[in-house]
Amino acid sequence: MTASTFGSVDDPVDTRFAMLPYIDELRSAEGLSRRLGFAVRPRRIRVKPGRSAIVAWQREKPGHLGEFADWGFTAAMTSPDKLANARRRAARHGQELTVHEAIDPRAAGATGAVLVSGSVLADPRIGKHVARTLDHLGGDIDIIGYNPARRLLLKHTPVQGVPEFVRIGAESQRHLAEAAHRWRQAQLPSLPVEFIGRRHTATRSPWWGTGDLHGHPDPNVAEEVGVIIAELHRDMPDLVSGRGSDADRRALGVDALAVGEPIEQVETVSRSLVRLLPERATDVAELLLELTGRIGSSRELREIHGDLSPDQVLLANSDCRIIDLDRSGLGPIGMDLGRWIAACRTNPGLDELEQPFLDGYRSAGGETSDLGAWTAWAMLTAALEPWRSCSETWRDETMQTVDAALSALAGESHSPGSGTQSPGSGTHVEGATV
């Protein structure tokens, strides 16, 4: 049995999908806690089938050693070289990796996989960037989000000073700073972004507001957001079309922008969906075929937010700021509209924000076309989020999202759970990355 054929029909679906041992254990609070020897909650998992998997976890009961001992990762690695490199990187910052013994010698021996755990500072990709950033910070630090091997989000309160939001990534955050600059140039409400250190992998922004629109739904603010996004979409037509000057394009960072092809994004997710939920293969294939025909030819690109939803809108009384511009770039405007509508329909209590947003968008001259297709696209691309966030009810949640995407494509306005599930025939698609 090799990594490419790992997983029989008797194995759990997670294991068959990932073609790696340990996956069910990594996504289970009970299993992961037993492995680590203390109670934790798995927060987010990333998988490259047949190659690697890594999950971020948080202790259930904070200890006395601080935030960076309360968060960590556990990873399944199949490459001895990667394990050796990870150990060296961790040692440079005084960290140790724990290599666990295999529960299932057959599986671990067949794939060559080992299970490894460590703290955030030992993270194989961002640990060194976190350590360098901490050299520039003082005072209190709270971890507010951790996507393993990708990014760490902090609330930093200096000894004498006001709180700030710190973002540390595995790659350069220059695109985020450039996006913030473009928004300031266009006088759109966001937050300034400054680099920490000289490597451009860490940024800081003011800690602003009293909450977000997801936690405090306000139709009036949603309408204002619609106006802001309409202004964003129409702000740079000359730069996008190439009629702007080279100096202007360089100043705004336009030449480096690329959101990505929407159909390629949904194809990648669809491959994973089919492997996790083979019974819905027919529905996923139907969605993909219809979306390819309806939005696959979108070629008019504008500046878009790229990840628009109510939780990206900070509030302070009646004022707002739109944040998380790391996916901003050039793309079809339907990506922003679809993501907003999908978030409103798939999160309880947010349905009241859909229509005011569209009203504001249209009142500011924004054009809407084929919202059903773009909403279905957004739902399908987000359908794996319950699995990635290690939800115990991911299967039901994802089923409901697929149903909602089918309804949106058919022009119906309904939220998950109100439709019926349509079983499909199973197929097997290789090469997906979650």
pLDDT (tens digit per residue) in 171-188: 999 999 999 999 999 999
Name the 3-class secondary structure at 343.
Answer: helix
Phi, psi of 394 (to 5 degrees): -60, -35
Coil, helix or strand at residue 58: strand
Neighbours of 172 (CB within 10 A): 12
pLDDT in tens, 299-346: 788 999 999 999 999 999 889 999 999 999 999 999 999 999 999 999
Half-sphere exposure (Cβ direction) of 387: Cα atoms closer than 13 Å:
26
Residue for token digits 């029989």? 8
Q: What whole-number distance in Å separates Cα of residue 430 and Cα of residue 410?
A: 29
Quote the Cα angle for 257-262-263, to 5°: 140
pLDDT at 292 > cutoff 60 = yes
Based on DSSP, count helices (H) and strands (E) in the chain, helices before strands. 18, 15
Beta bridge partners of 116: 75, 99
| CATH of region 211-409, choose from 3.30.479.10, 3.90.190.20, 1.10.10.10, 3.90.1200.10 | 3.90.1200.10
Q: Calculate the alpha carbon distances from 311 to 5, 241, 279, 307, 394 in Å.
A: 40, 31, 32, 10, 21
Residue 358's pLDDT is what? 98
Environment class of 140 (CB within 10 Å of its CB; exposed 0-12, middle 13-18, buried 19+): middle
E strands, 128-201, in order = 140-147, 151-157, 164-169, 194-195
C-alpha distances in angstroms, 334 versus 234, 257, 286, 329, 382? 13, 17, 20, 13, 15
Rounded to 5, what percent of the chain is helix, strand, coil?
45, 20, 40
Inter-CA distances, 165 with 117, 155, 184, 191, Å: 27, 5, 18, 10
- What size, in residues, is the chain? 434
| Cα–Cα dist 143/139, whole Å | 13
Neighbour tally for 264: CB within 10 Å: 9
Q: What is the signed CA dihedral for 421, 427, 428, 429, rounded to 10 degrees? A: -80
The per-residue pLDDT for range 86-114, each reduced to its tens digit, is 888 888 888 889 998 654 444 444 457 88
Q: Where are the domains of the chain?
A: 13-122, 131-206, 211-409
Name the most confidently modeled range: 39-53, 69-83, 204-218: 204-218
Note the CATH architecture for domain 131-206.
2-Layer Sandwich (3.30)
pTM assigned to the model: 0.86
